[in-house]
Structure 1
């Protein structure tokens, strides 16, 4: 590594010297910075990755395949001849990277931008005239089944079909809503002719596609470089990624549930940046002048010159509004009465409540506690953010005051997070002991244990998982399952059994070369984790004790469907003692009997077959009559699934009294949480989880 650092340092001296001594162009500087990033990237990957790769022709070919797939994923810009031209470097990318050449990458960007420019007028041209919907033709919506066009005529024809399909979707929706209004004799509905609706559908499609092309054109060189860098890291495994500084900041905020800003929820409406909600207790709320419905037109940092944000994308505008705690932002807003006002707000730390654990008391013969955990969040920003293990303990203590008989922890759609947090959380349910085994590339095994004898919950326990429960979710579910401490219920989990850590690339540059900092960080797969029984969740996931029907059970999902996943293997089991309190055969048998008799679960089983059928049938007719017939059939099919979201007899729920008191006068939050509880009590999976809790003696 030191040799690498010396080489990078020497190169940096040259780069800095050139910048100082000449009118060095930004374009050249970007590529020199990219040289440094790749040097640091390969050094870090070689030293830290669980399974370092040899940079050879095979590696180069994998980079080529992954990058070209991501460069033009829908095959609407590049020609097959462009791919063939880029293909001349398919076995040379490794040599180019090692020798600090960017022929392949530079050519790919030049070609893509050229083709993007050529297509800008196609959208307007193809949507300028009424569309003939009587022709019998089809449009393929699964891009993996399509190929790159050989000629301009072929590609333009694909664009024609694409925009025709987009217009059809809007037109069908408009006609359907109008027909329902006429059927209901809605006098407030203004009936429009087919021609008028067709014009309106084309206009909306034109606007949507113009915005799409605008976003593609605004992608920065740094963002395009990140796409290429992640095609390189993606060859190692799907979770090793390069993060540009801005992307790392967003990751930290998402995983910690915190950001620094003003506490206003924003949305775009007819191209305007509007305030949709003020978060109670936030700087905006305390300042008092910014209101829902206000339009933000300019943003100034303190007394600096304001920036007009009316033509910016919402993400760009938000970046101007966010800022360090304690700093001032001045918003020029257009109020609902059309008056213009400048509102100064001092930024502070804002918590995103949707990130955190929350609970409810459910009633199904007994009181049962329910905790929803969206992620295994922790203090990634090191600003005093909350940790999910401590929050879980708090929710359990609140539920215990309600005298609940059992506890359900919902990890569905929880993609994971902090390894340390999940070890702490598992320890809430059993005394001291191993939680997960971790192994690095040197085959050294580390058994991560809960060392705290205190148990927060020793009663009946059910963990809910689904296809999107990954990583830390699988660690918790696997540990509870291996200890036989509780029942795992739902569908097989995602199958991610690897551990990543961030390496800050800035740490390998000497302080005197701050001119090119920050260069970003790389998230590297450094370890694999294993169950305490010695098996791995990698690729296989966690198979629930109680398997429930699932709409996607016939669809291939999870880690095994990603590019270049790590293989499955196993290691010796850890030393642990199983609980003997649950009669698993009896609980499983009772659940299977209920599911077999359940009209809702039988409906889900038929839905799964329809989903599979529709997944394979990805072509749509572009004939209006045939398209509308197909869509009506789909809507009729979907109507029967509305039964799955109806109230369940004998099943109810409520917020905890502690939470109601905490929300206080925040009626918006209280209403939102009450709606959440109501939806919880309509969930047949949660209902079955309460049945399982009642079966655990």
Structure 2
């Protein structure tokens, strides 16, 4: 054992946690050792470089073949692609450019354009060399951060006129270690400021930051060969499209469990986002969806079990975060998250969620009725909310005549609403992320005669057309379909078909744009999820990338630059194929301008819409902020302004509802916690977007009566009077 090694061992045996001196010695030893040298002492923390396995090399070759010959996108493995893989891999490993220097990046510049040929033949070592260097730099940076914290937060200067860039994804690489030191001191100051402004004292902040960085440091030391391989393969597969990805054997197991919907957890779909775990979407009817605070694009910082201390999960593998969140039914897991609306990654909130199974009945379609008055005329509008496209396959296969499915449930709800004498129908597909394709096909069939519903083009350019073969129509009256940015996949197929057939109006915001179909294929080592086909509307346009554009638009709080297919790197583009013959039931061209005009006039006078626009403007202003001050007084003033705006907006909403305003932010926070904890709460009044859908419905009916009175063809006549099919 060398003298340096003995000193490290002695340090570790004498103290529970590294002192600054111990960390400095271990770093010096780490970067003086060849990559292949392993530590000889039991307790010393020295990074063990990971190496590829034969199984991984074979899987790499299979992945390369599948991508080239079976993926929907025809993309060869070229020198240009090699450079893109290199950049994507560095973005995955150091997306905020806080670990590597320009010299580090230049070290691998000679292999930048040669990764493709290596990936074709299973030569993984270049990717593993990059991974090992990044892990070493991660350890170095985290040890530096702990040294700064050990020196005391009182040594940090919060009176200078400094600021920190919030998003460094497009920043230049740091010139050297000294530049990274300066950057990390700013990062630590930013974290300290955020916690001080949230009321934490310096002792608590010190403990929190030590726990955070030590947790990340522990994960870095525990890096596995599979971590490097999965990261490298996903940088590679992501060149074809963002939904094509490699699943390690462990990740494959979690994927298969999630697909069964029997998982006891919180009902959230997660993915890796640089060093964070990000919420992609919430499962309708699941605990997180019902609790109401967790939102898509939130990033998870820590996880706590019941009353235990939180475990920081920044830098953790996705499968390990999933394991930590998963747990027995009725137990409580608390997530500390960076909200999607946060301007700064140090702004967090804690969300307590009671674990449970995602039950099919909690995803079921439901109905409501709203009564509206327009210019002295009363209208009864039915509302059907569809959280997801579901079907109880097991009950169906068992021959249960009463098995649940979206189409069967909606047909029954329509019958009940018609018995109540509704004048029109609103279908709410907001936040519906899709589900069973055949259910979308069958649901369209409730509103049309026989006809095509969607086209599916495969990688060999063959086109399959799905049809509604049932000539019966469950509802032939006026129809409005509500969508938002989280309406995806099967939701887009339904909304697009209703729009193409002229069967109803689509109202809301542009949908997600998920118009691709994936298949999971087994490998010798893990699985490959690969895009193999693409959806097209009956009019020929794809739902991919562009989604469905509403006939009447309603703004949304959702940040379209962060959520949606067109916000994803390498997403397949929008295109179109030939239309298939389909009927146009109604022609809205004669009334759509008047409908939009009335809608805009109504919203101009609506306090709810005014408040929504105020929220959107506030969120956009926060999102556009690219840096924050590190001066305590300036930061405190900015923080108070943001918090006061939150309180003002919340009280404006309470005033609209005739409720007492909150006197303080603490009152607001306590009320939000109580609301989130009450899983049985029900809205006394449907939200104003649904009511606006009803008003648009009333406008349609009024305009229809007007056209009938001047002997114009009525827009909502019987289906027998439908126009000839379009070609």
TM normalised by structure 1 equals 0.71
* 2-structure distance, mates of 1:604, 1:373: 23
Q: Using the alignment, how far apart are the partners of 1:242 and 1:439 within structure 2? A: 23
CA apart distance, 1:157: 1.6
Shift of 1:93: 0.6
1:572 counterpart residue number = 578
Match of 2:406? 391
**Counterpart selection for 1:441 from 424, 441, 459:** 459
Match of 1:66 in 2: 88
Match of 1:148 in 2: 173
Deviation at 1:81, TM superposition (A): 1.8
Distance in 1, Cα, partners of 2:611 & 2:105: 46
Please point out which of 87, 101, 126 is paired with 2:123.
101
- Partner of residue 211 from structure 1, selected from 211, 215, 221: 215
Following superposition, the deviation at residue 466 of structure 1 comes to 1.8
Which digits, 9 at most, give the CA deviation of each residue in 1:461-492, with x for residues without a partner?
Answer: 32222223232222111111111222211111
Match of 1:132 in 2: 157
1:40-119 residue pairs with structure 2 within 5 A?
40-119=62-141
Give the alignment partner of residue 691 of structure 1, picking from 690, 695, 718: 695
Pair 599,88 (structure 1): closer, same or farther in 2 beyond 3 Å? same
- Unaligned stretches of 5+ in structure 1? 1-25, 175-195, 266-277, 280-292, 298-311, 323-330, 332-348, 506-516, 651-667
Moved more, 376-385 or 601-610: 376-385
Shift of 1:682: 6.0
Question: In 2, Cα distance between the equivalents of 1:676 and 1:212?
Answer: 41
Counterpart selection for 2:469 from 428, 451, 462: 451
Deviations 1:256-286 (A, max 9, x none): 5323x69999xxxxxxxxxxxx99xxxxxxx
Map of 1:258 onto structure 2: 262
Q: How far apart are the structure 1 equivalents of 2:97 and 2:397?
A: 45
Distance 1:251 1:647 in 2: 45
Aligned counterpart for 1:559 among listed residues 562, 565, 581? 565
Deviation sequence 1:568-598 (CA, Å, 0-9, x none): 2222211111122865444433322211222
Where do residues 30-429 of structure 1 align in structure 2 (5 Å cutoff)?
31-128=53-150, 129=152, 130=154, 131-174=156-199, 197-218=201-222, 220-259=224-263, 315-316=322-323, 350-352=357-359, 356-365=363-372, 368-377=381-390, 390-398=405-413, 400-401=415-416, 403=420, 405=422, 406-429=424-447
Separation (CA, whole Å) in 1 of partners of 2:90 and 2:580: 44
Task: Give the equivalent residue in structure 2 for 1:537.
Answer: 543
* CA separation of 1:607 and 1:294: change in aligned 2, threshold 3 A: closer
Instruction: Check 1:669–1:527 CA distance in 2 against 1; reply closer, same or farther (3 A cut).
Output: same
Name the residue aligned to 2:642.
634
Q: Structure 1 248/647 Cα, relative in aligned 2: closer, same or farther at 3 Å?
A: farther
Alignment counterpart, residue 474 of structure 1, candidates 492, 496, 512: 492
Aligned equivalents of 1:400 and 1:263: distance in 2? Answer: 34
Alignment equivalent of 2:522, drawn from 480, 497, 504: 504
Deviation of 1:124 after TM superposition, in Å, equals 2.3
1:302-358 deviation digits (Å, cap 9, x = unpaired): xxxxxxxxxx96643577979xxxxxxxx9xxxxxxxxxxxxxxxxx9544697234
Q: Compute the TM-score of the two structures, normalised by the length of structure 2.
A: 0.68
| DSSP-derived class of the 1:90 partner | helix
Gapped regions of structure 2 (runs ≥ 5):
1-47, 269-285, 288-304, 310-318, 332-355, 373-378, 659-673, 702-727
Question: Alignment partner of 1:165: what SS?
Answer: helix
- The answer for the alignment partner of 2:610 in structure 1 is 602
SS at match of 1:484: coil
Tell me the distance in 1 between the aligned counterparts of 2:449 and 2:81: 47
2:500 is equivalent to residue 487 of structure 1: no
1:623/1:489 CA distance change after superposition, 3 Å: same
Partner of 1:521: 527
Task: Output one character per residue of 1:8-63: Cα deviation in whole Å (capped at 9) or x when no partner.
Answer: xxxxxxxxxxxxxxxxxx99995211111112212222332112321120111111
Aligned length: 556
Corresponding residue SS for 1:401 = helix
Q: How far apart are 1:216 and its partner, in Å?
A: 4.9
Q: How many Å apart are 1:141 and its aligned residue?
A: 1.0
Q: How big is the shift at 1:146?
A: 2.6
**Structure 1 residues 644, 318: closer, same or farther in 2, change over 3 A?**
same
CA distance in 2, matches of 1:696, 1:606: 29
Structure 1 residue 237, shift from structure 2 partner: 1.4
**Per-residue deviation at 1:219?**
5.2
Contact 1:437 1:529 in 2 (8 A): yes
- 1:583-598 aligned within 5 A: 584-598=592-606
Q: Is the 8 A contact 1:460 1:693 kept in 2?
A: yes
CA deviations 1:401-439 (Å, max 9, x no partner) are 353724433333333344333223322332321111122
Q: Could you tell me how far 1:449 is from its partner in structure 2?
A: 1.2
Deviations 1:103-142 (A, max 9, x none): 3211012112211222332232222312332122101111
Query: Aligned runs of 1:672-683 on 2, under 5 Å?
Result: 674-678=680-684, 681=685, 683=687
CA distance in 1, matches of 2:361, 2:633: 43
Q: Shift of the alpha carbon at 1:151?
A: 1.6
Residue of 631, 649, 670 corresponding to 1:623: 631
8 Å contact from structure 1 (residues 644, 683) kept in 2: no
Cα-to-partner distance string for 1:370-404 (whole Å, 9 max, x where unaligned)? 44444445679999799998135325524643537
Tell me the distance in 1 between the aligned counterparts of 2:403 and 2:88.
35
Q: CA deviation at 1:235?
A: 0.6
Write the deviation string for residues 601-629 of structure 1: whole angstroms up to 9, x where unpaired: 23433444443343332200011110011
Secondary structure of the residue aligned to 1:139 is strand
**Is the 8 Å Cα contact of residues 364 and 409 (structure 2) preserved in structure 1?**
no
CA contact (8 A) 2:479 2:697 kept: yes
Structure-2 change in CA distance of 1:532 and 1:158 (3 Å): same
Calculate the aligned-residue CA RMSD, in Å: 4.0
Query: Alignment partner of 2:480: what SS?
Result: strand
Query: Are the equivalent residues in 2 in contact too, given 1:360–1:677 (CA < 8 A)?
Result: no
- 2:706 maps to which residue? none
Bigger CA drift: 560-569 or 163-172?
560-569
Residue 549 (structure 1) aligned to one of 549, 552, 555: 555
Between the aligned partners of 2:386 and 2:403, the Cα distance in structure 1 is: 8
Higher mean alpha-carbon deviation, 158-167 vs 618-627, is at 158-167
Q: Tell me, yes or no, if the aligned pair for 1:502 and 1:521 is still in contact at 8 Å.
A: yes
